[in-house]
């Protein structure tokens, strides 16, 4: 009996010692994870003073880009291309009639028609149709691709009912959103610099994309022509201006990011043409390529950039876009799994080593998990990374990482907007207390609520309450479609006005 009791006591002591060691090991593991998260927070910190430096750098790069004729970037000395869009007349709300848009941004395109009723009725009705581009047309010839697009336009026009009205003898006007790099030479012409997004039609490089589309439209026997060539950011600004005359800039925060704004034509050194009647010019910033020593970069960002298809380029975009935020979170999780045993001792989930397996959509779903035990985080870790079970502490760390990456991105996006306002001298209280509207579109802004809230509160912090009260961030809708049709209408009106004077 004594031996049994002694054995039991010894076993209990041993078990207690093992448990104590396990608890100590666990405590050390969580201490390491906590320290790693705090270190990440410190390195990603974007305090107001730093953001003001970023904004100053953005404004300085804007001025440099406006002075440089090197619109294609050249030796890379000018980060922002600041492309002159030739859009000097934005929709006023007076536009009337039936107008069309073609939105070509990737492996699909949309055709759209809009019936406008002027100031009283605005957009009376609109309809759109999406079309997939067959794979073989993405690497075939120019004529084949544009014939396919023009045929879809002709079919779309043929399907019109009595409710859409085009005045007798009037040619159909088309706004063309072309989301590939082009060097624009007028409001309705632009040569292709290079294809992206899987297109490889080499013969098209250096050709005028509008001329090619117009020729294909004529081959279809369709009485239609392109009135305006734009990108989606300019379209977003046009759509915003149509409903709010105080709109002065548009920002896309989606898979990628960009911004466009209205500047005074006489302040653009590289503009050599006659000053437009409006005195204004829309500038496509291509702000994703912004870079500055003030940006809070980590080794995760540097590794992502080095392994990308365009190392050294699009640094700002790689910090704030939907394409990259989820991937940054994945890289952080991988390091914490390897070095801090985040998920378990010596356990690195194999799927976590796959680049881009964790999207920004996954990230926002985990970050915005409001369940008491962060159940959604656990489900996503299992679905995406194959981690069977996680404790609350692990989930809490994952949410913390998402918070750090999203907060940095949102605050940097706000600094970019602040930079535009500084360039336009709208960062102080003016004598007339002018109202300033910034239109924002893109999935990150629309669906990542915590990102949008942080971006807006950061801009208020940078501006100060007095100035912030006159600056409005508005969610925009369908700039790439409706905005293109509205610009076709605007320029059709301009042409009519010219002929009548």
Of the candidates 256, 171, 184, which has an alpha carbon nearest to the alpha carbon of residue 480? 256
Residues 6 or more apart whose CB falls under 8 angstroms from that of 137 comprise 144, 145, 148
CB atoms within 10 A of CB 223: 13
Q: Please, which contacts does 344-347 make with residues 24 or more away whose CB atoms are closer than 8 Å? A: 345/25, 345/29
> Residues, the chain, total?
501
110 is an active site residue: yes
Question: What span, in angstroms and rounded, lies between the C-alpha atoms of 81 and 68?
Answer: 8
CB count within 10 Å of CB 443 equals 15
Spot the catalytic one: 110, 395, 408, 426: 110
Three-state SS string across 282-339, please? Answer: EEECCHHHCCCCCCCCCHHHHHHHHCCCCCCCCHHHHHHCCCCHHHHHHHHHHHHHHH
Specify whether 179 is catalytic: yes
Residue 113 parent element (H or E) = strand 108-117
Out of 232, 280, 305, 478, which one is annotated catalytic?
Answer: 232
Q: What angle do CA 26, 29, 35 make, to 5 degrees?
A: 140
Tokens of 311: 């190392």
What number of CA atoms fall less than 13 Å from residue 300's CA on the CB side?
A: 23
Q: How many angstroms separate the CA atoms of 386 and 412, rounded?
A: 33
Which of 179, 341, 359, 492 is flagged as catalytic?
Answer: 179
Which residues are CB-contacts of 134 (< 8 A; sequence separation ≥ 6)?
148
| Distance of alpha carbon 421 from alpha carbon 51, whole angstroms | 14
470 is catalytic: no
**Distance between CA atoms of residues 340 and 349, nearest Å:** 13
3-class SS of residue 250: strand
Count the neighbouring beta carbons within 10 Å of the beta carbon of residue 384: 20
Rounded to whole angstroms, the Cα distance separating 88 from 237 reads 12
Give the strand pairing for 247-253 and 257-264: antiparallel
Q: Which residues are catalytic?
A: 110, 179, 232
């Amino acid at each position: 009996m004594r031996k049994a009791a002694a054995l039991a006591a010894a076993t209990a002591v041993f078990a207690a010692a093992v448990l104590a060691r396990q608890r100590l090991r666990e405590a050390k593991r969580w201490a390491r994870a906590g320290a790693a998260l705090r270190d990440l927070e410190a390195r990603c910190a974007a305090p107001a003073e730093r953001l003001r430096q970023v904004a100053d750098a953005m404004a300085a790069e804007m001025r440099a880009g406006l002075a440089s004729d090197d619109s294609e970037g050249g030796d890379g000395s000018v980060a922002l291309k600041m492309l002159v869009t030739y859009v000097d007349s934005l929709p006023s709300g007076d536009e009337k009639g039936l107008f069309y848009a073609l939105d070509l941004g990737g492996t699909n395109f949309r055709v759209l028609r809009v019936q406008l009723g002027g100031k009283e009725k605005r957009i009376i009705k609109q309809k759109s149709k999406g079309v997939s581009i067959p794979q073989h047309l993405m690497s075939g010839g120019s004529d084949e691709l544009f014939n396919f697009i023009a045929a879809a336009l002709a079919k779309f026009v043929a399907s019109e009912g009595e409710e859409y009205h085009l005045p007798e003898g009037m040619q159909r006007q088309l706004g063309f959103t072309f989301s590939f790099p082009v060097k624009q030479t007028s409001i309705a012409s632009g040569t292709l610099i290079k294809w992206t997004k899987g297109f490889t039609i080499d013969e098209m490089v250096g050709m005028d994309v509008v001329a090619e589309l117009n020729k294909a439209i004529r081959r279809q026997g369709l009485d239609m022509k392109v009135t305006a060539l734009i990108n989606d950011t300019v379209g977003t600004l046009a759509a915003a201006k149509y409903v709010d005359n105080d709109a002065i800039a548009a920002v896309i925060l989606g898979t990628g990011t960009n911004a466009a704004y209205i500047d005074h034509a006489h302040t653009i050194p590289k503009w050599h043409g006659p000053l437009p009647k409006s005195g204004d010019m829309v500038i496509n910033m291509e702000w994703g390529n912004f870079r500055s020593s003030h940006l809070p970069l980590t080794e995760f960002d540097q590794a992502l950039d080095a392994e990308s298809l365009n190392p050294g380029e699009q640094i700002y975009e790689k910090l704030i876009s939907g394409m990259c935020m989820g991937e940054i979170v994945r890289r952080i999780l991988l390091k914490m799994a390897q070095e801090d045993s985040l998920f378990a001792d010596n356990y690195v989930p194999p799927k976590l080593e796959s680049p881009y397996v964790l999207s920004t959509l996954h990230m926002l779903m985990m970050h915005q998990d409001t369940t008491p035990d962060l159940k959604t985080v656990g489900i996503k870790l299992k679905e995406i990374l194959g981690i069977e079970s996680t404790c609350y502490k692990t989930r809490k760390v994952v949410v913390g990482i998402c918070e750090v990456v999203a907060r940095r991105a949102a605050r940097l996006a706000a600094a970019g907007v602040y930079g535009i306002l500084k360039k336009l001298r709208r960062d102080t209280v003016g004598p007339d207390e002018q109202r300033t509207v910034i239109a924002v579109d893109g999935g990150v802004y629309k669906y990542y609520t915590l990102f949008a809230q942080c971006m807006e509160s950061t801009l208020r912090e940078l501006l100060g309450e007095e100035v912030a009260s006159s600056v409005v961030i508005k969610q925009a809708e369908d700039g790439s479609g409706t905005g293109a049709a509205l610009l076709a209408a605007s320029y059709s009106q301009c042409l009519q006005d010219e002929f009548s004077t």
